[in-house]
Chain A
Amino acid sequence: MRFVPLAVAAALALTACTAGKEAGPPLGARPRPSGSASQPLPAATLELWHGFSTDAEVKAFEDAIKGFNQKFPQITVKAVKGVQDDQITQAIRGGNAPDVAASFTTDSVAQWCRSGSFQDLTPVIKQDGIDLSVLPEVARSYSSFEGRQCTLPLLADAYGLYYNKALMKGNAPPKTLSELTALAKKLTVRGADGTIKVAGFVPSAQYYENVPSHLAPLVGATWYNDDSTSAIGSDPAWKKLLTWQKELVDWYGYANLEKFRKSLGDEWSAKHPFYEGKVAMVLDGEWRNAMIGNEAKGLDYGTAPLPVADDRPDLYGSGFTAGTVIGVPKGAKHPQQAWELVKYLTTDTSSLVTLSNALRNVPTTRAAMDSPDLAEDANFKTFLDIFAHPKTSTIPASVNSVFNQEAMQTFMEKWEKGAVPDLDAGLKSVDKQINDKLKLTGG
């Protein structure tokens, strides 16, 4: 009998532990309450995890949340900053999911959608009559997977060309890859011993933002076939991209270029070579505008779309895009309220404009992009146009996403240093790696 109180205590303790983690009903399971939006929703405290970390970013995000609080005063939002994808994954798996989670990368979207660890928003999107055509097709493709819209785009990044006006010496930004090559050679300054003092353009795939995903749109290279297998070996655009890149690397000399690259300051510091006049043209995201404003005031620079393959002038004006996505994880305690917050942050024009103006990221809806309140200058507008361009592309969500990008990155590093004797065979080997891995992950 003396074990009875112990058993009761244990049972109580277990109940207490689990009671706090009780998840709400999944989204779309209940019909939407009738009446005005703010009244029927009961009071709740939402936990929102996001990746913003600097003071300015966190403040901008909290300002956007304040707008939501005005609309739904009974809902309190507790925002947790600096959260990465793996933390979100672990929390969902451990049954401690936040009500709302935002991710800086689209790399996990496929896994989150496929496994159901982020709730499919399709039923509530339909219920609330939201027309997703307000989002560009490309933003829909990186926020959903296999028909499940388990996240929505919060803000987008677009990639273009930055050029230092003083170093350009009056030359117009290049529009084609051959123009880029010619201008890069013309603007490069070498020392007496051949070392690079100023590079016109650094073609190395190891240089900051020159990763394969950002370079692919220059030639319209595709990552996947329709059946999700790798298209890298069969799409001639990749070969075109790599051949162009290697030619310019060889002109600099790989060893020379590496020595120069390793002498440069950190990408995220005020010692960025573009600020310091060591590189005339760079591929970068729209967020660099805000960084230049903070770290290199007075830098005379311009922005333009990235140059494209000579035989693909139709691509000019497009570029790479991806962005922050936000959704309601499985196990959210207050999914209905969480959905209202997601809906507000991703579709409310004033919220998106507030965030975009503060963070200098691209807003994702057409209404926000057209808003007169959106702070636009010529350099930032370039990226709004790139994002809105019909040929702008992304890496569509894939369960293999990170692996594919890293396999290609590794291959490009080998290629540019001259360690790949046969480019066709090399690209086929990347295909094989990706396809084998795809089979392993059941993709």
Chain B
Amino acid sequence: MASLADVWRRREGLRALVWLSPWLAGVAIFFIYPLLSTVYFSFHRYDMYTLEFAGLDNYRYLFQDPRVLTSAKNTLWLVVVLVPATVLFSLALAQLVVRLKAGAGLFRTIFYLPSLVPMAAGTITFVFLMNPSTGPWNQFLALFGIQGPDWFGDPAWSKPSLTLLSLWSCGQLVVIFLAALLDVPRHLYEAAAIDGAGPWRQFRSVTLPTLAPVLMFALVTNVIYALQYFTQAMIASRVASGSTDSPGSSFSPGYPDESLLTLPQWLFQVGFRDYSMGYACVLALLLFATSMIFTLILLRQFRRAEEAS
């Protein structure tokens, strides 16, 4: 016969399960079930109508598909260049605003406003503004004798142009950094100043350690965001190529020269334009695994840095 303590413990366990059940149900329905389905479909030929077991065909095709490597390279470029650029730029802007003696509210608003513009509208506007023939940006550069490139039409410039778009709309990150910077205790700066620390030393020894968790949050979320980068790349490609999504029109994904073809965009193309759902599931799993690896690496680095400090 179970002791009273055992019953109590069992009931505790049950109670905990009951309290957890909404979360468990959510995870099961919205994460585990879709993940298992994705794995299941990845072994099938599935065109939204017919389902046929295909063994490892979809996985084999992953190594034959030249666009996987191209899109993976483009996505990696975004992770390596766009993310650090956006984070550093946002941090610099936040530092600037926090030091302002007057007009901080105005600048906060100015920097935040672009992030309120819907992504699609912002991207279309950028492509129009940077049109090499009719856009005012190149006309402005011409005043200084600079011949601007075909920003979204030249494969060498298309990703840097998207980075500029990302810098323009980094208001949310600026606000987060601003809040974190205002949270750094003033007396630490005063003590450091008394010890003779200059601005760079103050930033390295006071600001950065306090800011580390926020910086890590910004990096992890932005890396995941870059791995899922879709809307801006897709719209910039469409608008810059000048081809509308009308029936019968041919469009080369990732225009120009597949330079804006990101992994999620290729996944969308394969799944929802070609209806090769099984193969799209393989790409989705690849993306999932990549996101997990990046997140784990970043978290481990973060823990190491925390332990070291």
Residues of A within 8 A of B (CB): 51, 84-86, 89-90, 92-93, 103-105, 107, 111, 114-117, 157, 206, 208, 211-213, 255, 258-264, 267-268, 322, 399-400, 402-403, 405-406, 408-410, 413-414, 417, 419, 429, 433, 436-437, 439-442
Contact = CB atoms under 8 A, between A and B. Distances in A.
Interface residues of B, number: 41
A437 B58 CA distance: 10
B123 interface: no
A115 B150 contact: no
Contacts of B45: 440-442
B256 A413 contact: yes
A441 B47 contact: yes
A8 B248 CA distance: 50
Contact of A206 (B48, B134, B241, B272): B241
A105 B274 CA distance: 14
A258 B153 CA distance: 9
Which applies to chain A's interface (DSSP): helix, strand, loop or mixed? Answer: helix
Contacts of A85: 247
B50 A115 contact: yes
B132 A440 contact: no
In order of increasing CB-CB distance, the 5 nearest A-B pairs are A115-B49, A263-B133, A104-B247, A410-B252, A105-B247
Given A105-B247, A403-B274, 6 more contacts: A206-B243, A208-B242, A211-B249, A262-B134, A267-B242, A440-B61
Interface string B272-296: 1111100100000000000000000
A86 B272 contact: yes
A116 B49 contact: yes
Which applies to chain B's interface (DSSP): helix, strand, loop or mixed? Answer: loop
B49 A440 contact: no
Nearest to B134: A263
Contact of B244 (A157, A206, A268, A433): A268
B250 A262 contact: no
B57 A440 contact: yes
A242 to B, nearest CB: 15
Contacts of A116: 49
B257 A413 contact: yes
A167 B49 CA distance: 52
B229 interface: no
Given A433-B66, A440-B58, A442-B52, A262 B248 contact: no
B274 A414 contact: no
B140 interface: no
Contacts of A405: 250
Contact of A409 (B54, B150, B250): B250
B132 A262 contact: yes
A100 B181 CA distance: 62
Contacts of B273: 402
A107 B247 CA distance: 9
Nearest to B273: A402
Nearest to A264: B242
24 contacts: A84-B247, A86-B272, A103-B247, A104-B247, A111-B47, A111-B275, A116-B49, A211-B250, A213-B248, A258-B150, A262-B132, A262-B150, A262-B153, A262-B242, A267-B244, A399-B47, A402-B273, A406-B251, A409-B250, A417-B257, A437-B276, A440-B61, A441-B47, A442-B45
A259 B153 CA distance: 10
B211 to A, nearest CB: 43
